[in-house]
Structure 1
Amino acid sequence: MTSKDDITVGGYLLERLAQLGVQSVFGVPGDFNLGFLDLVDDHPKLEWIGNCNELNASYAADGYARVKPKSVGALITTFGVGELSAVNGIAGAFSEHIPVVHIVGVPSTAQQKSKPMLHHTLGDGRYDAYYTAAQQFAVSWAFLNDTHTAAAEIDRVITACITRARPVYLMLPTDIAYERIPKGSLETGPLVRQPPEVDTAIEDFVIDEIVKLVKEAGSSVAILADSCAIRHHCEDELLELIKETGYPVYCAPMGKTVVPEDYERYGGIYIGSITPPEVKQAVESTKLILSVGLLNSDFNTGGFTYRIEPTSTVQLHSDHTKIQYAMFPDVGMKHLLPKLTSALRDLKSSAVSVAVPPFKATIPSPNDDPLHPIISQAYFWPRMAAFFKPKDVIVAETGTSSFGVLGVPFPKDSIFVSQILWGSIGYTVGATLGAALGARERGLGRTILFVGDGSLQLTVQELSTMMKCGLAPIVFVLNNSGYTIERYLHGKTRAYNDIVNWKWTQLLEVLGPDAKPAPKSYTVNNKTELEELLDDPDFAKAERMQLVEVMMDKFDAPEALQRTAELSTKANKYAQ
C-alpha cells in the first residue's frame, strides 16, 4: 500500500540532487533510462541538458561541479554502451577530485536475474561486468535493486560523493525507478558531508608541533596552496590563514585561483625547476613550507622537480596531516586550518617583513618578440590577462593553453578550469558547457575557453549544445596546425601530430544555425587584428556565442610547456 507521502525511487534520487543545488543534468537518452528521464524532465528544479555523446556529458558534469561549489555534477547514461563511453570523463573526475553522481539506467530486475542476451550486453550473461568496471573509478557505488534499501543506499552513496569529492555510481533498473517508497529523511533537508571524527587531543598535538616548527623557522615560512583546497571547500579557511598570518603564498598549477591573484602577498605559481627564477628562489630558500591540498603529479610539480625537503614541509590534506615524516590520519585541513590560524596569528609581524615577488603579466616589446607581428605565445597570454574581468570563468585546454595561462594573473573572483593531472585532450569543450551553465546559475561573469585546433576536433559537437542552451562563451581556437604539446614530447615534424585544418569560422553556423542571437566568428592573423577585436566593447560583452580563430606558428609554445616536455621526454626514454 502506498500513501500520499510516498515518492518514486527515481524521484527520491532526483530530489537529493536538487537539494544539493543541482539544476542542470547531463547525459544521453537510451532505452534503459528513458522512463527515468521522464522524471527528470518533469522535475520543477532540474533541467535536462542532453549532450551529443556520453564522453562530452561526463566532461560537462565535471566542469559544472568545478564551478558550483558544494554541489555535484549529475550524469545519466544507459547500460553498457552509454556508461562505457563516459568512463574517460569519470576517470578524470576521480583523478582530479571532482564530485560527480553517475546514474546508469539498466535492464529490469527480472532481466538481471534471467540474463537474456539483450542488446548492450557482452552476450555472455555478465550483467555485472560494467558495474565491476565502474568501481575502479568511484569512491562508492550501489545497485538499486531493492525498494526497502534504495533510499538508504542513495543517501550513503551521495554522502560519500560530497564528503570525498570524487565520483560515485548508481545502477537504476527500469522497473525500480517507478517503485514507490516513503519520503523518509528527504524532508529533514539536504545531505551533508561526513568527515571522519576528529580526536581533539591528536589535533591539538598536531597544532603544537606545527607551531614549534613555525617558530624555529622564524620569518622564513611560506604557504603553498593547491587544488584540493578548492575541491574540499577550504578556500575561506585558507584565505583566513593567509591574511591573518601574512605569510607569502604561492600556488601549484592545479591550484590557480584558490588564492586571489591580486592579493599583495601572493607570489604566483611554483612548478619546480621550470618556475620563474625569482619565485623559485623565494620558495626553495624558505625554511618551512605549509602545503595545503597539494597534488604531487608530474605536470603539477614540473616533472617532479620540487626542491622542498620533507623535513621542511607540513602537508595539510582533506583526510590527513603530515608533519615532516610523521602521518596523522583523520586530521583534515577543513577542521584544522581555523585552529592553526588562531595559533599563528600573533606571529604576523615577522611574516610580513619577507618581501614577495609581484605576480604580473608583461607583454613583450616587438624587439623582444622574434615572431612579431605574428601572434606569439609570449605575447598572447599577457595580452589576454588584460582582457579578463572579475568573475570570469577561464577554461584552458591541456597543452599550450593550460601552460600559457599559468604565467599570467587572473582578476578577483575568477575561476580557473583545467585538467592538468588527467590531461584528456578535448576535455575543455564539454567542461565549458558545464562551467557556463554553472556560471549562469551562480550569476558569474563570462565563460572563456582556450582550446587548440587538435583538441577541439575531438569534442567539437558540444558547441552545438552550448548554443541550444542559450550560452555565450567566447571560444579562442589556437590554430597551430596540430598537436603542439605532442610535438614537443616526441615527433616534432611527424605526420601523426598533424591534423586536417577545418574551416573554423564556419563551425558555429553549421552547429547552431537557429541560435539566437546569431553567433559570430572571427579570424585574427596578427597582433593588430587581435588588439582590435579585444578592444571591441561588443565583443567583450559576450552576449552571443563567439569563436575566434587565432593563427599561430606551428612550433611556437609557452616556455613552461617546452621545459616540461623536455623533462617528460627524458622520463619516457624513447629509443632514438
Structure 2
Amino acid sequence: MDSATIDLQAEVNRLCHEIQTLEVQRESENGESITISDYILKRLEQLDVTSIFGLPGDFNMRMDFIEDHPTIKWIGNCNELNASYAADGYARVKERSIGVVVTTFGVGELSAINGIAGAFSEMVPVLHIVGVPSTTQLKSKPMLHHTLGNGRFDAYTKAAEQVTIAQAAIMTPRQAGPEIDRILTECITHARPVYLTLPMDLVAAKIPAKRLKVALPRTPPANNPDVENYVLDEIVKLVDDAKQDVVILVDACAIRHDVRQEVSDLLTKTQFPVYASPMGKTAVSEEHERYGGIYVGSITQPSIKEKVEGAKLILSIGALKSDFNTGMFTYHIPTARTVELHSDQTLIRHGHFPGIGMKLLLPKLTERLSKYKQGALKIPVLRFKLDVPKEGDYKISHAYFWPRLGKFFRKQDVIVAETGTSNFGVLDVPMPDKSIFVSQILFGSIGWATASTLGAALAARDRGLGRTILFTGDGSMQLTVQEISTMIHYKLKPIIFVLNNKGYNIERHLHGLDRKYNDIVDWKWTSLLTTLGDTDGKLSKSYTVRSKAELDKLLDDDEFASAQKIQLVEVLMDKYDTPRALQAAADLTAKMAAKSVG
C-alpha cells in the first residue's frame, strides 16, 4: 500500500470516528467538560495504560495531573533516553496497550529520540508527549531556554517527524480532542510511535468530555472482498500444488499487529509445521507440538534449516527481513515458494496485493486450509533440543551457559536480551509455554535492554506474569545502568545477569578482536544494587559466579529462583568466547565486507 493510499485510509477512519463522536454529542445533553491533560489520561486509561515514564521539566505537562490519577502511575526515570526505552519495553509486554513517555521541550525530547526511533524501527506503539512553551511564545518565538536560539521552534517537531507515524501540535482547546484521538488511533492501528506537543498554557484548558464515550477504533481497514477472495483462492492452489508440504514461518509483526490468536487458530486447525524468526521468538508457544525452532538463514541449526528450506511452500506471517533477523540476508527461500502475509499487504510469489491485511485475512484462510489437517500431520516435526554440553574445564562458556539457563526458565517468564551477545546466545534456547521474549534485534541500540527491563517488569506485574529476567553485557550495562535505581524504587524484582567479558564482545567479533576501543573499565558489579538505591541491602542480593559449579549451585537454589527481591548475577566469562550464532553472523559479516572492499 503506497503512502497516498495509507493517508487516505487514515483520513477515512478519522472521519468515521468524528461522525460517531458527533452523533454522541447530539444525543447527549450533558455539557460536562474536562481538562486537556485529563482527557489524555482518560484515553490512556481506556487503552489500559497504568504507567507513564519520563522526567519533569519546566515546559512539560504538569506532573501532578499524572501523579493524582487513581490508576495511572508516574514512573520517574533517571534520564529521558532511559524513559523512552522503558516505554518501549512496557508496550512490548503489555500487548494491546501502548507505552507513554513525557519529556520537556528540546533538551528532553532530543534525549528521548533514540528510544523513539528504535520503537519506530521495530513497530512498537509509543506516545511521546512533549510539554512546550505557551501558545503566545510559540507564535512570537522569543529566545527561550531549550531553543536553538534562532527562532526555529519547529526544529524538534521536524526531527520527530522522521521517527513517528503521526504528530499533533495542540494550539487551541477546540482542536485538542480530535487531534489526540487521531494520533492515538494511528499509534494503535499501525503499531508505531506518535508525537504530541502540549503548550504549558493549555494543560488545564477545558474541552468537552463527550467524545470520550466513543472508543478509539482498533479494527484495521476492511479488505477488498473481491481481491481477498482471489488471494485466498491463489493460496489454496499453492497449498494443493505443494502436496500439503507447507511450513509456517512466524515473525515479529505477528506480535506487533495483534494476530497471535489468529496464528494459534491457524496452527490448531491445519497442523502445519511452524518455525519462528529471531524477532518472532515466542510469537507462538515453543512447546507447541508442531513447533520446530528458530530459522535464521545460514546461521540456523542444520536440522531446522533443512526442514524450512526444503518445504515446497512457505507461509510467512509478519516478516521483518532485517540483516540479523535473516542471518545476514541468507534466507534460502525462493520467492516462487513463498506467500507473505503482512498487516497492510499480501505477497503471493511475485504477485503484490496492497491493502489485503493479515488480521482479517487469517481467519478466512484458516477455514480454507483446515481441510489439509490430516495430511499436514504426516509431516514430521523434530522437537529442537539444546542439551547442556559436558565440558571438562571449570570455565563458564557460552556453549554451556545458554543451554543451562534454558533449564532455569519457567512458564510466563519475561526474558529480555540485550542486543549483541545475549540476543545471539539465547536464540537457540527453547522457551517455556506462555513466556515472552523481548529484544531489539533490528534497531540494536546498545544499552536498550536494561532500561527496557524497567518497563517490561512493570507490564509483567500488571499482567500477572512470572519473573522478569535480563541478560546483558558489561559494556551494554554501563550505558543505562542508572535505571536499576528506578527498579529498586518501584520495588521491582528482576533477575539481572551481567556477562562480564571485559568489553564489547559483539564488536570484537565483528571487527577489532584485540583493539583497545572494544575494552571497557571493569566495575564492581556486585556493589551496584546497594549503590543505586538499596542502601541498607534489604531489598536486593548480588552474586558473582566464576565456574560452572557456582552457576549450577545458584540456578538450583530455590530462594534465588523465586525472585523475591531484585538480584544481580555477575557471570565471569572469557574475553574472546562468544555464542555459536554470533560467531556465524560475524563470519558472514566479514565475508560481506571483504566482497564490498574487493
1:56 to 73, 82, 88: 82
SS of the residue corresponding to residue 429 of structure 1 reads helix
Following superposition, the deviation at residue 349 of structure 1 comes to 1.1
For the pair 1:524 / 2:545, whether they are aligned, the reply is yes
1:536 to 538, 554, 557: 557
The 3 A distance-change label for structure 1 pair 515 and 221 is farther
Q: For 1:204-235, what per-residue CA distance to the aligned partner results, in whole angstroms no more than 9, with x for missing partners?
A: 11101000000000131100000100001100
Q: How does 1:218-257 map to 2 (within 5 A)?
A: 218-257=243-282
Aligned match of 1:350: 375
Following superposition, the deviation at residue 412 of structure 1 comes to 0.7
Following superposition, the deviation at residue 572 of structure 1 comes to 3.8
SS of the residue corresponding to residue 315 of structure 2 reads strand
Aligned match of 2:395: 374
Aligned match of 1:32: 59
Following superposition, the deviation at residue 506 of structure 1 comes to 0.3
The one-letter amino acid paired with 2:147 is T
Worse-superposed segment, 178-187 or 548-557: 178-187
SS of the residue corresponding to residue 268 of structure 1 reads strand
**Aligned 8 A contact 2:386 2:430 in 1:** yes
Aligned match of 1:136: 162
**Aligned 8 A contact 1:483 1:498 in 2:** yes
Q: For 1:177-222, what per-residue CA distance to the aligned partner results, in whole angstroms no more than 9, with x for missing partners?
A: 111000021123x323142232111111110100000000013110
Aligned match of 1:552: 573
Aligned match of 2:152: 126
Aligned match of 2:310: 285
**Aligned 8 A contact 2:37 2:203 in 1:** yes
2:332 to 307, 320, 335: 307
1:12 to 22, 27, 39: 39
Q: For 1:73-120, what per-residue CA distance to the aligned partner results, in whole angstroms no more than 9, with x for missing partners?
A: 011000000000011100000000000000000000000011010000
SS of the residue corresponding to residue 407 of structure 2 reads helix
1:444 to 440, 465, 469: 465
SS of the residue corresponding to residue 64 of structure 2 reads helix
1:295 to 320, 327, 335: 320
Q: For 1:322-358, what per-residue CA distance to the aligned partner results, in whole angstroms no more than 9, with x for missing partners?
A: 1011111111111111101100101111111111121
Following superposition, the deviation at residue 517 of structure 1 comes to 4.2
1:166 to 192, 200, 220: 192
For the pair 1:321 / 2:346, whether they are aligned, the reply is yes
For 1:34 and 1:183, locate their aligned partners in 2 and report how far apart those are by CA, in whole Å.
19
The 3 A distance-change label for structure 1 pair 196 and 384 is same
For the pair 1:110 / 2:131, whether they are aligned, the reply is no
SS of the residue corresponding to residue 378 of structure 1 reads helix
Aligned match of 2:15: none
Aligned match of 1:462: 483
For 1:172 and 1:566, locate their aligned partners in 2 and report how far apart those are by CA, in whole Å.
49
**Aligned 8 A contact 2:469 2:494 in 1:** yes
Any unmatched runs of 5+ in structure 1? none
Aligned match of 1:563: 584
The one-letter amino acid paired with 2:136 is A
For 1:572 and 1:26, locate their aligned partners in 2 and report how far apart those are by CA, in whole Å.
40
Worse-superposed segment, 325-334 or 75-84: 325-334
Q: Number of aligned residue pairs: give it.
A: 568
The one-letter amino acid paired with 1:321 is T
| % identity of equivalent residues | 60
Q: For 1:522-549, what per-residue CA distance to the aligned partner results, in whole angstroms no more than 9, with x for missing partners?
A: 0000000011101110000001010000
The one-letter amino acid paired with 1:509 is T
**Aligned 8 A contact 2:269 2:373 in 1:** yes
**Aligned 8 A contact 2:123 2:256 in 1:** yes
Q: For 1:429-465, what per-residue CA distance to the aligned partner results, in whole angstroms no more than 9, with x for missing partners?
A: 1110000000001100000000000000000000000
Following superposition, the deviation at residue 568 of structure 1 comes to 2.1
Aligned match of 2:230: 205
SS of the residue corresponding to residue 248 of structure 2 reads strand
For the pair 1:393 / 2:414, whether they are aligned, the reply is yes
SS of the residue corresponding to residue 280 of structure 1 reads helix
SS of the residue corresponding to residue 279 of structure 2 reads helix
Q: RMSD value over aligned CA atoms?
A: 1.3
SS of the residue corresponding to residue 475 of structure 1 reads strand
For 2:532 and 2:593, locate their aligned partners in 1 and report how far apart those are by CA, in whole Å.
39
For the pair 1:83 / 2:104, whether they are aligned, the reply is no
**Aligned 8 A contact 1:470 1:516 in 2:** no
Following superposition, the deviation at residue 514 of structure 1 comes to 4.4
SS of the residue corresponding to residue 217 of structure 2 reads coil
For 2:535 and 2:570, locate their aligned partners in 1 and report how far apart those are by CA, in whole Å.
22
Aligned match of 1:183: 209
For 1:482 and 1:11, locate their aligned partners in 2 and report how far apart those are by CA, in whole Å.
46
SS of the residue corresponding to residue 514 of structure 2 reads coil
Aligned match of 1:266: 291
The one-letter amino acid paired with 2:434 is D
Following superposition, the deviation at residue 513 of structure 1 comes to 2.8
The one-letter amino acid paired with 1:566 is D
The 3 A distance-change label for structure 1 pair 515 and 173 is farther
2:498 to 474, 477, 480: 477
Runs of 4+ in 1 over 4 A off after TM superposition: 514-517, 573-576
The one-letter amino acid paired with 2:534 is P
The 3 A distance-change label for structure 1 pair 495 and 516 is closer
For the pair 1:405 / 2:405, whether they are aligned, the reply is no
Following superposition, the deviation at residue 575 of structure 1 comes to 6.7
Following superposition, the deviation at residue 395 of structure 1 comes to 0.3
SS of the residue corresponding to residue 76 of structure 2 reads coil
2:507 to 461, 483, 486: 486
The 3 A distance-change label for structure 1 pair 6 and 514 is farther
**Aligned 8 A contact 1:267 1:357 in 2:** yes
Q: For 1:125-161, what per-residue CA distance to the aligned partner results, in whole angstroms no more than 9, with x for missing partners?
A: 0000000110000111100111111100000000000
For the pair 1:216 / 2:245, whether they are aligned, the reply is no
The one-letter amino acid paired with 2:416 is V
The one-letter amino acid paired with 2:48 is G
Any unmatched runs of 5+ in structure 2? 1-29
The one-letter amino acid paired with 1:18 is E
Q: For 1:377-407, what per-residue CA distance to the aligned partner results, in whole angstroms no more than 9, with x for missing partners?
A: 0000110011000000000001111001010
For 2:539 and 2:93, locate their aligned partners in 1 and report how far apart those are by CA, in whole Å.
26
The one-letter amino acid paired with 1:73 is G
For 1:204 and 1:234, locate their aligned partners in 2 and report how far apart those are by CA, in whole Å.
20
The one-letter amino acid paired with 1:129 is A
**Aligned 8 A contact 1:376 1:556 in 2:** yes
TM-score, length-normalised on structure 2? 0.93
For 1:513 and 1:241, locate their aligned partners in 2 and report how far apart those are by CA, in whole Å.
48
SS of the residue corresponding to residue 289 of structure 2 reads coil
Aligned match of 1:41: 67
For the pair 1:193 / 2:218, whether they are aligned, the reply is yes
**Aligned 8 A contact 1:9 1:179 in 2:** yes
For the pair 1:512 / 2:537, whether they are aligned, the reply is no
For 2:168 and 2:142, locate their aligned partners in 1 and report how far apart those are by CA, in whole Å.
22
The 3 A distance-change label for structure 1 pair 288 and 19 is same
